[in-house]
Amino acid sequence: MKAVILAGGRGTRISERSHLVPKPMIDIGDKPILWHIMKYYASYGIKDFIICLGYRGYVIKEYFANFMLHSSENVTFDFCENSVVYGNNNAEPWRVTLIETGLETQTGGRLKRLSSILKDEDAFCMTYGDGLSNVDLTALIKHHKAEGRLGTVTTVTPPGRFGAIKSENDRVTDFSEKPMGDGSRINGGFFVLSPKVLDYICDDKTIWEREPMETLVEIGQLTAFSHNGFWQPMDTLREQELLQNMWENEDTPWKIW
């Protein structure tokens, strides 16, 4: 099964980092968050990736162009034979296809541009290049197949933005620094989709999370898969620092490899 990763947005809410690199290339530890996402999928045996490029896509191209080089303990360049030999190579066993999908293209439009690549697939995974989770991908795919609908979206309950305080008679009885939200479930990414969903995307201006998903809901072709475990987007500098601190403290629910 292929995994499509949307990695073309500008990342304006984390501009402190994304003015230099696309958001999926912002590091958590010493690796870009894109690597963490791919490593997570690969842990479930999904190693064929299609990455949709846009803003500063050349940075992602250069990263993978030099992936073997940086993953090898020693390298021999034979300029006489015009060859390169990588020694003690630790590169991941992945197949990575990078597709330029336009600088201003919306999320739906990026998917639509993959029609010729995905048309013969029974289903494919899709996620965003800026969030981590410990969602059970095996269970997600099994759920999608069992329901038999065109699309499945993972739903999550996001953490609240502010600390929550409970009190009685002016006495604080409970304080939670990172409470869950109001109980509403939201789109957590980590989709499983039939290529037929691409028929509901008009053009580059189509936002996947609007008309296509709304239409799938209207015709009864979108299934929800509830995930109650770890889920954390990286939309802001504060969230990047949160994930960085988790990595440094080895508090990494997504690190299952």
Q: What is the DSSP letter of 204?
A: T
Lowest mean pLDDT among 6-20, 25-39, 209-223: 6-20
**What pLDDT score was predicted for residue 210?**
96
pLDDT in tens, 72-123: 999 999 999 999 999 988 889 999 999 999 999 999 999 999 999 999 999 9
**What pLDDT score was predicted for residue 132?**
98
Can you give the residue ranges of every domain in the chain? 2-158+184-248
d(CA 104, CA 18): 16
**What pLDDT score was predicted for residue 83?**
94
| pLDDT value at 162 more than 60 | no
Q: Could you tell me the sign of the dihedral formed by the alpha carbons of 108, 148, 124, 243, in that order?
A: positive
Compute how many other C-beta atoms are within 10 angstroms of the C-beta atom of residue 42: 17
Q: What is the mean pLDDT of residues 130-157?
A: 97
Q: Is 51 exposed, middle or buried (0-12, 13-18, 19+ CB in 10 A)?
A: buried
Query: What value does the mean pLDDT of the chain take?
Result: 92
- CATH, domain 2-158+184-248, list 3.30.750.24, 3.10.20.30, 3.90.550.10, 3.40.50.720: 3.90.550.10
Residue 115: CA count within 13 A, CB half-sphere: 13
Please, what is the Cα angle at 89 between 86 and 90, to 5 degrees?
155
Question: With pLDDT > 90 as the criterion, what percentage of the chain qualifies?
Answer: 82
DSSP-based three-state secondary structure for 100: strand
